Chain A
Amino acid sequence: MQLISLRRPMQAAALNSCRPQAASPAFLSELVSLLRLDVGHSSSGISGRRWAAVKSQGAYKLKNKKTIPKKLGAKRTGDQYVIPGNILYKQRGTIWHAGENAILGRDHTIHAAVAGYVKYYRDPARHPTRQYIGVTFRKEDKLPYPPNAPRVRRLGMVSVTRKTEDTAPPVLSSSGIPLKVVRKAVVPEAKAAATPTESAATPETAAVADVKAVKRTQRQTAKKRKAELAALRAAQRKIQKETRVLHLQSDYSYREHNWEIGRLVGGAGRVQGAGRTQSRRAMLRVRRRKKQIVFGTRKAEARRRRERRLEVMKRAAEKKAKKAAEVEKMAAKEKGKGKGQQKTTTAA
């Protein structure tokens, strides 16, 4: 700094010396003053006069009391033990970067992510100029770790016995009234009770000649069964749609959940008035709105698909178990029969 402050006076002096001018005592003193180091207090001290008040003594050292101190800087030294969440460094901007097992906070504060020992280091392989603060599990470890070695990890967990939730959800509220009331759908009896016709098996006694007729009846029964199934499914859908579940509210009234009320309009992602539009522009507007609604339902869709898959698996497993049970039953029966026969034979 001193050299820099000297530069200008030196330049001026050099220029002056180059000028063809007779040297005078006044000019010399000027030159000397120019060459003098310009360091505030010493220069004023030399002259032997003080103009400022006593109060100003050392005033430049005092900090402005109007600003709150931010208390930035290192809060933990190298090799010091820290636990998760401890603040290692407070800063404006990233003077230091978060390294191994350290977290950079919202205001660039660096925290420890694990319990261990603080290390200040550089990692030229990651970045040529950045400086990092990291935490290692062992005090003698050095950062950065060698590049192709497996990561040093710690479980940081304790094992306890798992609690199994067997408690059924409460049915009654603390005041003794039911938490929910189901209002069942009213369905016409005949249709709801309709079950698909049992069998359309070919009669064993069918002659070769009327195979065609048998086939026709088969087709018809199949058609009929299909229609019945469709009716049944429609009835089920109706029941599902019209059954209302009313939940107890904090003011002891019963009502549906908000989402259920919303479903009255239609399924998720359904937009009112999207069915028929007057113009192309309206159609586009509806599509835009639909897109906004559909946004974020992709995950739900994936979940639904997964659930469906699980459902299929479950059903297959159930079927298998049922079959196995049946086979077992049959085997047991046969065994019993065999025994019975044996008995009869012995009796005979």
Chain B
Amino acid sequence: MSDLLSYILTAEFGYSMLRVTTPILFAAMGSIVAESSGASNIALEGNMLFAALFGAIGSGLTGSVFWGLIIAIAGGLIISALLIYFGLYLKTDIILSGIALNTLASGGSIFLMYVILHDKGSTSSIKTLVCPNINLPGIENIPVLGDILSGHNILTYFAFLSVIFVWFLLYKTKLGMHIRCVGENAEAAASVGIKIKSVKLVSLLISGVLASLGGAFLSMGYMNGFSRGMVSGRGFIGLAAAAMGQLSPVPTLIASLIFGCADAMSNIMAAMRIPDEFVKLIPYVTTVVGLIVISSWRTWRVKKKRIAALVSAN
């Protein structure tokens, strides 16, 4: 136990926490954009899975990281396109369609891998390129902080920048205003001539791109190569983070970091020979506990304020 503590207090742990937060954060930001327009993107998990696979194969085949990323995004958007087609055009329930697409992605990714590489387990037969790591000039030389913040994969920095991007998009652009309006009161949007379907479509696409970047990170950064089921619930944890952050970018960032921390901790524990079954539970237990803590804290705060006000009123 004390081993664990002493490890958590190192710069190395901080570094690995940011690393594992990356895919969760992308997914969470993707969820915010979609959910704000009232079209839930439950298919984040599927977006990430396809993006991870396409990125792994794409970068290997083209020999270019850049094209690998583009292909990864295109792969992730296949799932978004299906979700848009089912949910917005055929008007099926968007949540159920999302769940179905996740199942499709999990089988589909293995199928595609087999068709292309004749392998059902991983893409190890092809050499995946990894996105470069970046040293932050100036910061890299600061003790401790430099070790935590510098030298990450470029996609990790993108993930944190995406928080600013999503905030700016939702609160500072016309499109963002329209997205929030459609999400909150679609009829009101229609009555001023905003096209509900187009707005939802655009938010689902943006959401898909963000989640795909998270997927690409998994196979072109976190690991080099795709293996079956490699997203393992990170899309859902991202959904939970967005819910905990009540669709606000900064609180969602904090929630994602908490989940990232749990994930990093489970990695250490796995290395310390704590039973695997238990370790794997940690991120999910954190999610549930996190949701409970946040909501009871909110109720408690309101109650406390009420009692105080009542006392002063009488």
Q: Do A and B come from one complex?
A: no
